[in-house]
């Protein structure tokens, strides 16, 4: 009798623990990008804590943004991510991807600006860092190099 109760409890525990994994597996990025990449802005570099450098380049008439990372560490080091970009006016801007989990759409934000002050939200963690513009670092990066480093 105890063995049956233990087996039932174990089965229920596995079901409860596996449920979030299935929900995450159902999560899909629904962002659609233009196949061409045409720079439409200048390269701008921003610095953050511990020497972090985030380089941004507007592309495709300001509808998308390439974001390149230096001194971040991890799998994004030296990589460029492609995201959607929106300028809401009055210094409010967002760099994001659209997702869908089941039938529910939502957005994940990589960068946001309020009053022209940028904040970087590190993917896969709760960390976020304030960024400040660096003209010296901006001069070190070229649009072609940012485009070549796009993460597949």
**What distance in Å separates the CA atoms of residue 70 and residue 75, rounded to the nearest whole number?**
11
What is the pTM assigned to this prediction?
A: 0.76
Q: What is the pLDDT of residues 43-78, one digit of tens each?
A: 999 999 889 999 999 999 999 999 999 998 888 898
Q: Calculate the CA 112 to chain-centre distance.
A: 11
The DSSP 8-state label assigned to residue 50 in this structure reads: G
Q: What is the pLDDT of residues 90-110, one digit of tens each?
A: 989 999 999 888 889 988 999
């Amino acid at each position: 009798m105890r063995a049956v109760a233990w087996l039932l409890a174990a089965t229920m525990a596995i079901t409860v623990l596996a449920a979030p994994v299935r929900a995450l597996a159902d999560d899909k990025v629904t962002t659609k990008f233009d196949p061409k990449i045409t720079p439409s802005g200048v390269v701008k570099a921003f610095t953050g804590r511990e020497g972090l450098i985030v380089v941004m380049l507007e592309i495709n008439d300001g509808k998308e943004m390439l974001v390149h990372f230096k001194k971040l560490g991890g799998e994004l080091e030296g990589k460029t991510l492609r995201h959607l970009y929106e300028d809401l006016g009055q210094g409010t801007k967002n760099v994001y991807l659209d997702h869908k989990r089941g039938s529910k759409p939502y957005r994940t934000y990589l960068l946001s600006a309020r009053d022209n002050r940028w904040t970087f939200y590190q993917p896969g963690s709760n960390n976020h860092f304030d960024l400040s513009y660096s003209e010296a670092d901006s001069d070190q990066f070229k649009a072609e190099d940012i485009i070549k480093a796009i993460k597949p």
